[in-house]
A and B are shown apart, each in its own frame.
Chain A
Amino acid sequence: MKIKFNLTVLFFAVTAMALSLVACDKRPIPGDLILSTYNSDMEETREFAPMDTLYVKIAGMKANSFYRISALDADNNLINKIEARTNEDGVIDPTPLWYDMGLKVDADDPTLPPSLVWPSGIEPGAFKINVKSLYDNGESTDFTQDMWIVYTRAEGDTNPKPVVYSCYLGTPPVTKAPGVFYPENAFKETGTKDINGNEDPKTRVYVKADRVPTKIGNNVTVTKVDFYVLKFTGDTFKNGDDLTDSSRYVLHKTANVAIDEDGNGTVTGTLLWDLNDAPTRINPNQDNMAYSIVMDVDRDGVYDLGMDTDSDGLADHFIDGVDGNGSPGFIIQNTPANDVFVKITDINGDEVNVITENNNANHLFINIDNVPVGVSDPIGVFLINSDVYSPATNQFQISNTGDTADVRDDGNGTMGLALTNPTLTENDPRYLPYLASTKLLNTKTTGLDDWSYTGSAINVHKKLDLIIDLGNDGYYDKDEDIFIEDAITILDVPVAPVYKTCTDSAGTSYSEFFDESNTEGGSSIVYLKAVQDGPQLPYNVYVIKDKNWTAGDYLTGELFSVTGLSGSGTNPIWDLNGTYQVINPTMANNTYDIVIDNNMDGLYDAGDSILTIVILNTQANAYPRLTYVNIASGGSFGNIWEQHWTVYSEFCDYRDVFIKSGLDTNPYGAGYGVKAVFNPYFSWFCNPNPATPVAGLYYGLYVDVYIVNASTFDLANYGHVNELNDTVDVTGRHSTLVVQPSCYNGAGMMNIWKAPMTPGSYYVIVDVNRNGRIDEGVDIIDAVKKDGTTILDDPTAVGFTVE
């Protein structure tokens, strides 16, 4: 008895001691749990469907400080990570950490695209989440929590929400085994080729569905379903929406698709839309590139959400399924497939479409990218007088039958064949052939060659249209051939003028061509040389964008004027590196008139002189050729009182202007300020590789986001090691956010600059491959104006300004 008593006492003593370990007062944590996880419905749960998104919330951290939150696999390999700032309460609100959970990478070949493998029933998943303070390299916080979840099919007594997703059919070499369907959100426009020159598999939109209800209504068995491809409107589908309302959004319908072939309520890969057949999508834009897919299970042409069987206000007995409810199910990217790029250059490769008359032996050259013909198909290139083009008819005969049918016309409307069957080149079967730097035109007057313009002398600038006769039939066909109006200007150069433009202060190097601003060692100062034989008279100079002049025109609208000049001598008129700069000039803005107002009456009239100069587009201000899109957002999605300009930017609240207090932004996340929101609708040809391309789990993608000051960060001087760092980032620390692997460019919202912000102009640079450098064709920059103008078109474009 004595022993028994002692044992009991000891047992309770030990139990009490053990329980005391877990029964002390809780340490107060603002925001409750240190770490919380949510599914895409923002439910705090351990149940996830494959393709779901894991959101994570952190609390109890230091206020306004950067932390890295990483998802690690069971072997401590990185799955994905974000780097974000806490708010005043030390909280990072729920942020996407892991998109498309459950995607699997082929064990034999991890380079293949990830695929979705539905669990045969229920499947456990386990991973770790690590939280690390970045402001002290993990000294204060470096915490790891083991997590577990289950992937479920959720086939209970009620119909679970059906899963519908777009996919493409993998064919070699995309996959070793043909017939594999890969989830995909970003398809490619009509005519896009793969690396072998075959139709790209992503030009065909397939759909797969799982958890398709097999019984609906009064125990009605479902054997077939209909699919609708609907234009994405940014809105969510509501119970009772008419799917057949063609005035609203019907695009495509695929009926009578059998389900349950494997007894599990599934729809196997079914072709919904072959973009190479009608209706095609060529050069899709923001208005016709995003779509949703609705699976009409009861085939009544109406969207039926389902029923609320437990009267909790939420549907729990689902019927129809949607891919793209509130966000697009898939997009069609604008690829280079149907784009023809024509560029006229000089012998140095500088982009210029102007040549002077009278014995200019320097050719203009033509470059055509993506010529939409076979590499051996003949084409014709014609230059015609601009004044013969008739927009009314849009069709005119092109004569190519004789010596007279060339550009050496007298301006009476005769067409001119400039090039006969130029040699096309093809290096990459994904793209069409190209015509590289081929002689097009010179204005020799002696030693004529095949490209010489020999028409009569001109006394006004002569504009020529360019026609690329793809059918090579001698006729311009509107729907087939390429027509560029005013593609070339032959510059009228006065004979023996009093005034001449020069590139040197000595007045010995006459030229009508000058280098754009910031051209290192270039001819960027326009000198005006005057040789007045008689009395030395004063004159004024006006620099005005090129126009057709009529006597009596007022000299207004000038870029600037220079007064106080007099007599013979050479004077600098325009320093292109000074106040009035020209950056990346195009055909539309590269030609300027220098009007010498000899009688100084402010009018162009008899006795005045006009010299025309051309600003060459050199390589000096070559902004990186990459994707320019809106990134900076106020985060008030769907708030029509904020700045919006397209249906999609309205949805994402992209802005060009922020107030420095940021009080009109969404405080969700880390307080008021500038948010980063990836527009999932832009064309992006980059596919960043996951950090850990190994078999098993699909390892996610993340990118670094920098905000740099547009007044000090020279975007034209790019490509240097470590040019993107936390010193150039105006917030003092770049952010890292995850992107969706299935379409590469979708991402959740993240605060990238906490208010108050500093007034100024800024670019947002997304370092996709996280190498601290701007890489053409890879990275993304927000240097886009409200009207869609990018910095490539207008050097003043920035990502956003703070006022």
Chain B
Amino acid sequence: MKLRKMVLTAIMVFWACQTVSAASKQSEFALFKRSINPDYNWGENGVITVPKAMPAGKGNIYLAGSAQDSGTVEGDRIFLTSVTGVVGTSDDVEFGYTRRQFIWDNLDRTDLSMDTYSFKARIFHMTDSIIPQIALGMNAVSLNDNEFDRQEDILFNPYLAVTMRVPLFTEKAVLSATAVAESIYNEGETSDLYFSAGADLKLFDMLYLMAEVQGMGKEDEDQVVNLGAKVKMGWVSLGVAVYNCIQEDVSTGDPGFSDDSSDVRAYALVEIPLGKMFSKSENKTDTN
């Protein structure tokens, strides 16, 4: 109960006492975002759906996947899965590819699939801590049958992410706060700006707690709150996230957890820190 209270209190900070109305543009945008986003390395290069300014890192590779129960079709269960592969091509640049796919419970594919290509470049990085880092990124999805042949068929999602990393007296407990401004673009048209924020707490390089709010700064529209947790063991991480889990109680007006609107996704990640290993190896060689 204490944990629940703490979480709710934290969320209230993000909630910022905004008035709530169902199905606002923000919740639409939040669903849109989690439909096109890559699976981030939670707590590292992204919070959950909110990208962080930190890239994957030179030579580092990760493969992340998530799955959401989508129900049954004629007695067979079906899952919405996504698999993301990200490669850090330099200290500040990463490229990613995400495949979204509905699969049956026997792992057969359905015909429902979608690709996302993503790119992120850190443009400001003075130190790893305290001083905010800034990155520009872009996701690209197809508007036409998952085809990327023509530019007019591609919807771009550019964003600017600012992340501040704050060690809590030790590197074993690190709090990061991220703010993101983003838009979408197609054929010379851009959308309004959307603002999101997220925070993650890394403890002992093993446990990650994440919370993010999508749809900041719109007085007349509600925000969408996503919560997640991840456990990292070596190169493998497992996690779970709950999306759009806070709704205003109709009678009291107070925010609270809600199953009515929320979606749950399981998450797994395998990271191959080639870059880090190379770096350690080189450092070791240098030391020697």
Max chain A C-beta neighbours (<10 A), residue from B73, B155, B190, B244: B73
* Chain B residues whose C-beta falls within 8 Å of the C-beta of A152 in the assembled complex: 186-187, 189
Q: Are A156 and B65 in contact (CB under 8 A)?
A: no
Q: Are B31 and A22 in contact (CB under 8 A)?
A: no
- Indicate whether A121 sits within 8 Å of B192 (C-beta atoms), given known contacts A27-B108, A33-B111: yes
Max chain A C-beta neighbours (<10 A), residue from B30, B31, B261: B31
Minimal beta-carbon separation of A233 from chain B (angstroms): 35
Q: Are A73 and B27 in contact (CB under 8 A)?
A: yes
A143 within 8 A of B: yes
B256 within 8 A of A: no
Instruction: Please report which residues of chain A, range 1-39, place their CB below 8 angstroms from some CB of chain B when the two chains form the complex.
Output: 3-4, 7, 10-11, 14-15, 18-27, 29, 32-35
* Chain A residues whose C-beta falls within 8 Å of the C-beta of B144 in the assembled complex: 45-47
- Indicate whether A143 sits within 8 Å of B23 (C-beta atoms), given known contacts A35-B112, A44-B145: no
* Chain B residues whose C-beta falls within 8 Å of the C-beta of A35 in the assembled complex: 112
One of A124-132, A363-371, A450-458, A511-519 contacting the partner: A124-132
- Indicate whether A22 sits within 8 Å of B28 (C-beta atoms), given known contacts A11-B61, A122-B186: no
A268 within 8 A of B: no
B9 within 8 A of A: no
Minimal beta-carbon separation of A508 from chain B (angstroms): 68
Q: What are the interface flags for B78-100 relative to A under an 8 Å C-beta threshold, 1 for contact and 0 otherwise?
A: 10110101000000000000010
Minimal beta-carbon separation of B124 from chain A (angstroms): 27
Q: List 15 A-B contacts (CB under 8 A).
A: A3-B281, A11-B274, A22-B109, A33-B111, A34-B73, A60-B73, A75-B27, A133-B74, A142-B71, A144-B71, A145-B70, A150-B155, A152-B189, A695-B21, A696-B28
Bound-complex Cα distance A147 to B145 (A): 13
Beyond A141-B73, A696-B22, 7 additional pairs, beta carbon < 8 A: A75-B260, A140-B72, A146-B35, A150-B143, A150-B184, A155-B189, A156-B187
Q: Are B24 and A696 in contact (CB under 8 A)?
A: yes
A61 within 8 A of B: yes
Q: What are the interface flags for B56-75 relative to A under an 8 Å C-beta threshold, 1 for contact and 0 otherwise?
A: 00000101010000111111
Bound-complex Cα distance A19 to B83 (A): 8
Q: Quick one: which of A7, A14, A154, A694 contacts B22, CB cutoff 8 A?
A: A694
Q: Are A3 and B191 in contact (CB under 8 A)?
A: no
B135 within 8 A of A: no
Q: CB-nearest residue of chain B relative to A140? A: B75
Bound-complex Cα distance A123 to B110 (A): 29
Q: Chain B, interface size: which category?
A: 35 or more
Minimal beta-carbon separation of B40 from chain A (angstroms): 16
- Indicate whether A75 sits within 8 Å of B101 (C-beta atoms), given known contacts A46-B144, A150-B143: no
Q: Are B112 and A155 in contact (CB under 8 A)?
A: no
Q: Are B63 and A143 in contact (CB under 8 A)?
A: no
Bound-complex Cα distance A152 to B21 (A): 24
Instruction: Please report which residues of chain B, range 177-222, place their CB below 8 angstroms from some CB of chain A when the two chains form the complex.
Output: 184-192, 220
Minimal beta-carbon separation of B87 from chain A (angstroms): 11
- Indicate whether A150 sits within 8 Å of B186 (C-beta atoms), given known contacts A141-B74, A145-B80, A697-B23: yes
B119 within 8 A of A: no
Q: Are A126 and B244 in contact (CB under 8 A)?
A: no
Q: What are the interface flags for A107-123 relative to B under an 8 Å C-beta threshold, 1 for contact and 0 otherwise?
A: 10000000000011111
Q: Are B81 and A140 in contact (CB under 8 A)?
A: no
Bound-complex Cα distance A152 to B34 (A): 20
- Indicate whether A74 sits within 8 Å of B152 (C-beta atoms), given known contacts A3-B277, A22-B109, A124-B32: no
Q: Are A26 and B99 in contact (CB under 8 A)?
A: no
Q: CB-nearest residue of chain A relative to B83? A: A18
- Indicate whether A26 sits within 8 Å of B109 (C-beta atoms), given known contacts A76-B260, A121-B191: yes
Q: Are A24 and B108 in contact (CB under 8 A)?
A: yes
* In the A-B complex, the 6 residue pairs with the closest CB atoms: A126-B31, A73-B23, A74-B27, A74-B31, A126-B32, A75-B261
Bound-complex Cα distance A75 to B221 (A): 13
Q: Are B189 and A695 in contact (CB under 8 A)?
A: no
B232 within 8 A of A: no
Q: Quick one: which of B103, B185, B190 contacts A22, CB cutoff 8 A?
A: B103
A231 within 8 A of B: no
Q: Quick one: which of A20, A145, A154 contacts B187, CB cutoff 8 A?
A: A154
Max chain B C-beta neighbours (<10 A), residue from A4, A11, A26, A126: A126
Instruction: Please report which residues of chain A, range 127-174, place their CB below 8 angstroms from some CB of chain B when the two chains form the complex.
Output: 127-128, 130-131, 133, 140-148, 150, 152-156
* Chain A residues whose C-beta falls within 8 Å of the C-beta of B191 in the assembled complex: 119-124
Bound-complex Cα distance A140 to B71 (A): 9
Please report the total number of A residues contacting B with Cβ < 8 Å.
68
A77 within 8 A of B: yes
Q: Are B72 and A141 in contact (CB under 8 A)?
A: yes
* Chain A residues whose C-beta falls within 8 Å of the C-beta of B145 in the assembled complex: 44
* Chain A residues whose C-beta falls within 8 Å of the C-beta of B189 in the assembled complex: 121-122, 152-155
Bound-complex Cα distance A408 to B152 (A): 86
* Chain A residues whose C-beta falls within 8 Å of the C-beta of B85 in the assembled complex: 15
Q: CB-nearest residue of chain B relative to A90? A: B74
Minimal beta-carbon separation of B265 from chain A (angstroms): 11
* Chain A residues whose C-beta falls within 8 Å of the C-beta of B155 in the assembled complex: 46, 150
B126 within 8 A of A: no
Bound-complex Cα distance A653 to B164 (A): 66
Instruction: Please report which residues of chain B, range 1-56, place their CB below 8 angstroms from some CB of chain A when the two chains form the complex.
Output: 21-25, 27-32, 34-36
Bound-complex Cα distance A24 to B107 (A): 7
Minimal beta-carbon separation of A55 from chain B (angstroms): 16
Bound-complex Cα distance A564 to B267 (A): 94
Q: Quick one: which of A45, A140, A146, A153 contacts B74, CB cutoff 8 A?
A: A140
Q: Are A22 and B30 in contact (CB under 8 A)?
A: no
A343 within 8 A of B: no
Q: Are A22 and B21 in contact (CB under 8 A)?
A: no
* Chain A residues whose C-beta falls within 8 Å of the C-beta of B117 in the assembled complex: none
Bound-complex Cα distance A692 to B23 (A): 11
* Chain B residues whose C-beta falls within 8 Å of the C-beta of A150 in the assembled complex: 143, 155, 184, 186
Instruction: Please report which residues of chain A, range 748-784, place their CB below 8 angstroms from some CB of chain B when the two chains form the complex.
Output: none
* Chain A residues whose C-beta falls within 8 Å of the C-beta of B238 in the assembled complex: none
Q: What are the interface flags for A62-86 relative to B under an 8 Å C-beta threshold, 1 for contact and 0 otherwise?
A: 1000000000011111000000000
Q: Are A75 and B22 in contact (CB under 8 A)?
A: yes
B138 within 8 A of A: no
Max chain A C-beta neighbours (<10 A), residue from B21, B81, B103, B113: B21
Q: Are A143 and B31 in contact (CB under 8 A)?
A: no
- Indicate whether A77 sits within 8 Å of B99 (C-beta atoms), given known contacts A24-B107, A152-B186: no
Q: Are B184 and A124 in contact (CB under 8 A)?
A: yes
Q: Quick one: which of A11, A22, A133 contacts B272, CB cutoff 8 A?
A: A11
Bound-complex Cα distance A127 to B24 (A): 11
Bound-complex Cα distance A143 to B184 (A): 29
Bound-complex Cα distance A697 to B30 (A): 15
B247 within 8 A of A: yes
B102 within 8 A of A: yes
Q: Are A61 and B70 in contact (CB under 8 A)?
A: no
Bound-complex Cα distance A427 to B269 (A): 71
B148 within 8 A of A: no
Q: Are A124 and B28 in contact (CB under 8 A)?
A: yes
* Chain B residues whose C-beta falls within 8 Å of the C-beta of A153 in the assembled complex: 189
B104 within 8 A of A: yes
* Chain A residues whose C-beta falls within 8 Å of the C-beta of B123 in the assembled complex: none
* Chain B residues whose C-beta falls within 8 Å of the C-beta of A125 in the assembled complex: 28, 32
